[in-house]
Amino acid sequence: MRLAMISLLMIPLVLGCGSSKVPPSDSGAPQIWDTDIDADNDADAGSSADTSQHSGAGDNGDTAATTDTATETDTATEPDTGGSTGLGDEADADDDDSAVPAIDNDEDGIPASEDCDDDDDELGAISADADCDGVLTEDDCDDTDPETVTDMDCDGSPTTDDCDDGDPTSTTLATDADCDGVLTDDDCDDTDSTSTILADDADCDGTITAEDCDDTDSTSTVRADDADCDGTPTAEDCDDTDSTSTILADDADCDGTVTAEDCDDTDGTSTLRADDADCDGTITAEDCDDTDGTSTVRVDDADCDGTPAAEDCDDTDGTSTVRADDADCDGTPTAEDCDDADGTSTLRADDADCDGVPTDADWDDTDPSDGLYWLSVDAGNHHTCGIDSTKQMHCWGYTASSSDWHIPPSGSFDDVDAGAGHTCAIDTTNRVRCWGQDDTGQASPPTGTFQSVTAGWGFTCGIETTGAVECWGTTDDGSGGYGRATPPAGTFQRVSAGGSFHTCGIDSTGAVQCWGRDYWGEVTPPTGTFQSVSAGSQHTCGINAMGAVQCWGNNYYGQTSPPAGTFQHLSAGDMHNCAIDSTGSVQCWGSDDYGQASPPWGTFESVSSGFGHTCGIDTSGSIQCWGWDANGQASPPTL
């Protein structure tokens, strides 16, 4: 239909080119179409009068022709003033341009043969759809590209190749290169073709979300910012490369030891465990014992001398660096303490005069010339024994290859008593220990604990810690037996075994009780209360409650005739006695065949009478002896 129309329209254009067209009049008279033209298309070219359509003009406009009786006004066409298309002005957009082809239905200046949308009378102008893709030029960014049919976002990529082509806000492909719905300006990984959505790498560190613990951390730009995912950036996290660490608390002080095994892991000032290896709160630089794995707190060795506090008396001494600074823990440094090497010394007062003798064993600790002293002494028949201030036992006098009476056992002792041929003592554990002659069992004490002990002639007695008297050795007096080793019942304060055949003691009431042979009345004491009692060979003496000495028994040598006065200490020998009066002087009476009853001048603390000699401890702590010394029994050793 369109081709037929074009053919019909072309006919008048061809015919119009002939010479039959009337030239214009000089007078300006109206021009009249050649009557040969059949304007109404009825093929009646020879009619002179056009009754249906006259030259395209109404009768009023056609002054040269005869009156057109068919119609007065030609409504089919308007005059063709400029062109030669044979169309009216309104139907011919180029009516003033005879060079433009007549067939251009959409009047865009493009011939229908070259115009894809020429039959679209809705489009109007060439700008309507230059590339014939159905999208108007004003809405089509690529209207000059006849090949591109669809590129909604005008980014040069066809819709089929462009994931975001339907996004009117997207102007170029770079807007969302990875098609994840996030614009390039907002998408750190937009050039990553393997990433399909932003959530694949929310923090843009190159690690996908599924493998990135901190992918939601917008402050993290790379995974290295928090490799162990503990919320602390790498720059502030010493263990960020530790894949076994999931939180910073695993090693808060960054010493390579996890919190569960690190006592000081909460110490922010500690950078290495070595800063406080013993976990006592003191860093290594200030802690001398920090390498001690057994030490849990500094107080274990505050003075850093290698001795734990529990064993170190001076551990709180900050000025002490080694225990040797104050070995005896008396508060005086070794350099100023003469007895600091003495481990038994707890105070400097233990040896104030630095004579090597502890205070409790030093007769005068303010005088270095006065060192060890004697605590006790006891004279036997032919030997003597004494205990020094360190509680060591010493014996001297008669020696016999079969007895060794003078050789005491080792140990510490509190009391000693020398008999005729044996000696017994109480050690510091309250046990009785005896040595010397033991032919009747006198040197074989019973078990148990004792307060005191006394050795006689062939027998021994002691007061148990219960107060009862127990005796051992012979009970035979040689002429019928008098039970000298068979004590009475009851409790006693003191007991003394005589040199021959009897024993006396002071019971709990203060009365004297005696047992054994009473040939001279030696076992018949006076009534009254006594402070002390001592049995000789055939006599006995005691100090009564008034401090006076009373004696009974054989008085052949005047041994039972004591001097008047008050006395502090008393000892009965074989046939003589000696006592310390209230002035501290020693007074003796009885037999003096060997000078045993002739004491030296001076003051004494104690005295002991033997068979033919006597010894005493003076107020300087020294032992002085007098009397018979044939066996050295009156020659005490020097301490």
What is the H or E stretch that residue 589 is in?
strand 586-590
Average pLDDT across the chain, whole number:
73
Which residues of the chain form CATH 2.130.10.30? Answer: 374-627
Q: How far apart are CA 102 and CA 94, in angstroms?
A: 8
The pairing of beta strand 613-618 with beta strand 393-397: unpaired
- Residue 138: CB atoms within 10 Å: 9
First vs last C-alpha separation in the chain:
158
**Residue 407 — very low, low, confident or very high, per pLDDT cuts 50/70/90?**
confident
> Residue type for 68, please?
D
Between residues 516 and 246, the one the model is more confident about = 516
Give tens-digit pLDDT for 334-359. 777 776 766 555 555 566 777 767 77
The answer to whether the beta carbons of residues 239 and 251 sit under 8 Å apart is yes
Is the pLDDT assigned to residue 38 strictly greater than 80?
A: no
Residue 371: pLDDT band (50, 70, 90) is confident
pLDDT at residue 26 is higher than 80? no
Model confidence at 247: pLDDT above 60: no
372 pLDDT band, cuts 50/70/90, is confident
Q: What is the mean pLDDT of residues 451-455?
A: 97
Mean pLDDT of 103-132: 65
How would you classify the pairing of strands 512-516 and 374-379?
Answer: unpaired
- pTM for the full model? 0.50
Check residue 366 and give its pLDDT. Answer: 72
- Tell me, what's the pLDDT at 292? 62
Position 59 scores a pLDDT of: 40
Is residue 514 scored above 90 in pLDDT? Answer: yes
- Residue 264's identity, in one-letter code, is D
Residue 504 has what pLDDT? 97
The encoded tokens of residue 7 equal 């053919």
Q: Is the alpha carbon torsion for 602, 606, 608, 609 positive or negative?
A: positive
pLDDT surpassing 70 at residue 47: no
Model confidence pLDDT, tens digit, residues 71-88: 334 444 444 444 444 444
Contact present, 524 and 518 (Cβ < 8 Å): yes
Report the C-alpha gap between 388 and 412 in whole angstroms.
Answer: 10
Of residues 425 and 274, which shows the higher confidence score? 425
User: Which of 312, 278, 271 lies closest to 297 in space, CA to CA?
Assistant: 278
Burial class (CB in 10 A: 0-12, 13-18, 19+), 621: buried
CA atoms within 13 A on the CB side of 522: 31
Residue 165 confidence (pLDDT) above 60: yes
pLDDT the model gives residue 386: 97
pLDDT at residue number 398: 84
**Residue among 570, 528, 535 at smallest CA distance from 549:** 570
Q: Return the pLDDT at 37.
A: 34
Task: Answer yes or no: is pLDDT of 66 > 90.
Answer: no
Query: What does the pLDDT read at residue 225?
Result: 67
> With pLDDT > 90 as the criterion, what percentage of the chain qualifies?
35
The pair of structure tokens assigned to 637 is 């050793």
374-627 CATH choice from 1.10.40.30, 3.40.50.80, 2.130.10.30, 3.30.1330.60: 2.130.10.30
Contact 498, 471 (CB under 8 A): no
- The pLDDT of residue 526: 98
Q: Which of 173-187, 361-375, 399-413, 462-476 has the lowest mean pLDDT?
A: 173-187
Instruction: Specify which of 54-63, 314-323, 516-525 reaches the highest per-range mean pLDDT.
Output: 516-525
Per the model's pLDDT, the better-predicted residue between 468 and 20 turns out to be 468
State the average pLDDT over residues 178-202.
Answer: 66
Q: What is the pLDDT of residues 523-571, one digit of tens each?
A: 999 999 999 999 999 999 999 999 999 999 999 999 999 999 999 999 9
pLDDT at 141: 73
